[in-house]
Amino acid sequence: MQAPKKVNKIHVKKGDQVVVISGKDIGKKGKVLSASPKTGKIIVEGVAVATKHKKPRAMGQPGGIIKQETPIYASKVMLICPRCGKPTRLAHKLLEDGSKVRLCKKCGETFDK
């Protein structure tokens, strides 16, 4: 019998503003387009762009060279705080109603509304 696959937790969600802290795109900022906790990777707008040669498949469909974002590991990015505008680590807090929120370590602003 196989053990169930463990789903990794990642600190970013779709729609978060992030900055790249390592790799060839260091310093670039962008919005998270998609997050995959299973692989631990995310796709960030304007980061890790690769060129893809696309062949026309249907009649009237154009082919050519397109630019497309490729996934990068979530550990290579830091969240940007909406209030102080600085890259920050996350803190987690449990509210009175039992819900969990993500907080900025520098200014205390919540990421989840």
* pLDDT tens profile 63-112: 999 999 999 999 999 999 999 999 999 999 999 999 999 999 999 999 87
Provide the whole-model pTM: 0.85
Interatomic CA distance for residues 59 and 68, integer angstroms: 23
Region 39-53: what's the mean pLDDT? 96
Closest to 69 measured CA to CA, from 91, 88, 51:
51
Tell me, what's the pLDDT at 111? Answer: 87
What are the structural domain ranges in the chain?
7-55+64-80, 88-113
Report the CATH architecture of 7-55+64-80.
Roll (2.30)
